Structure 1
């Protein structure tokens, strides 16, 4: 059987590649990483959202090709239910899907103001006004989930789809020194110390410091 592949872009800059990679690892899929060539004009158009479709990350597994992070998540949940990507309880599962979908389709101002850069650190960073409501909404989501399900992860004792979706936000909050209360800071630190995230971050540290002319977060 042909080994699965996961096409990804920059490990330092690509939040969507990180999400797809985490989901596949959480599901126990053994795959080969296929990095895109960031110097390819077609790839750059895709990453800059100038292409009509965005096909990274892209998973090829057992003859199935699936792209878009939420589609990858649903596929992984179907083939590996034991991984617990979605909670067992129906109402809790719906909540997990809702907050994950909100991350998938929203928070554009946050993405623009605080682009992912795992290696960077700012002791102080002035967040422009338009991104502040996004940050406050994420604080509300995290507080509600941790308060309702008891932590330490958003939906209880084990990481789920939601934690994979918000992992890049944890990185951004560290990079740009976003203020969090102790409970939310503890959650951020838990995600950043997650062995899967640490593995990704270690690879990110070996990449070039910047991608020239890439001005839109991807």
Structure 2
């Protein structure tokens, strides 16, 4: 089997690294993690950009190098079709791609207002008005998918690309005490107690704390 390496950054702060890592776990691809040195000024400068495709995550698999989270998802889907990263049904698969793409390309205000920080917990947090429509849109997407496919994941009994894309949002909602109705809280709890998420969170909490907290997502 070809050797695979996944370049990632901080497990505590990097939502895009988490997404790429989850996709590899879901595909059953054993990867060697290659952390970016966050002490390098050039790396920090690029990672501060609000973009999902600067340095991380980057998957190297044999002779293939692919970055950008959705590109990684498509590559893994093509390489490991039996992993079921997308739903088998055509209509469900199209919707999964649509909601995953929406997270990939949008929700800028949510990302800025509620940066991922697995160590932090707020009893209450005032979300600025510009981010509230993003929060409500996420809730609407989750309700639509759960109502259509019955949960516990967004597209039914097993996790999909969409769950990898929205997993960091579940951590944000927990960190910033975003209120959720019972159905959405049950979904968030499913993601937060999903074994790959527990593994990532454990590693994030053990990460050295000298990394300076950033005000934006990377």
* Alignment TM-score > 0.5, same fold: yes
1:104-124 C-alpha deviation (Å, 9 max, x unpaired): 000000000000001110011
> C-alpha offsets along residues 168-202 of structure 1, whole Å, 9 cap, x if unaligned?
00000000000000000000000000000000000
SS at match of 1:33: strand
Matches within 5 A, 1:71-150: 71-150=71-150
Paired residues, number? 217
Aligned to 1:39: 39
- Distance (Å, rounded) in 2 between the aligned partners of 1:168 and 1:92: 22
Structure 1 unaligned residues grouped into runs of 5+: none
Q: Secondary structure at the match of 2:10?
A: coil
Structure 1 vs Structure 2 CA RMSD: 1.5
Q: Which residue of 1 aligns with 2:152?
A: 152
CA shift in 2, pair 1:209/1:128, >3 Å: farther
Say which SS state the counterpart of residue 158 (structure 1) adopts.
coil
TM-score by length of 2: 0.96
Alignment of 1:9 onto 2:9: yes
> Helix, strand or coil for the counterpart of 2:118?
coil
Runs ≥4 residues deviating over 6 A: none
Paired with 2:152 and 2:215, the residues of 1 have a C-alpha distance of: 35
| TM-score, structure 1 as length reference | 0.96
Provide Cα deviations, 1:7-34, integer angstroms capped at 9, x if missing partner: 0000000000000000011101111000
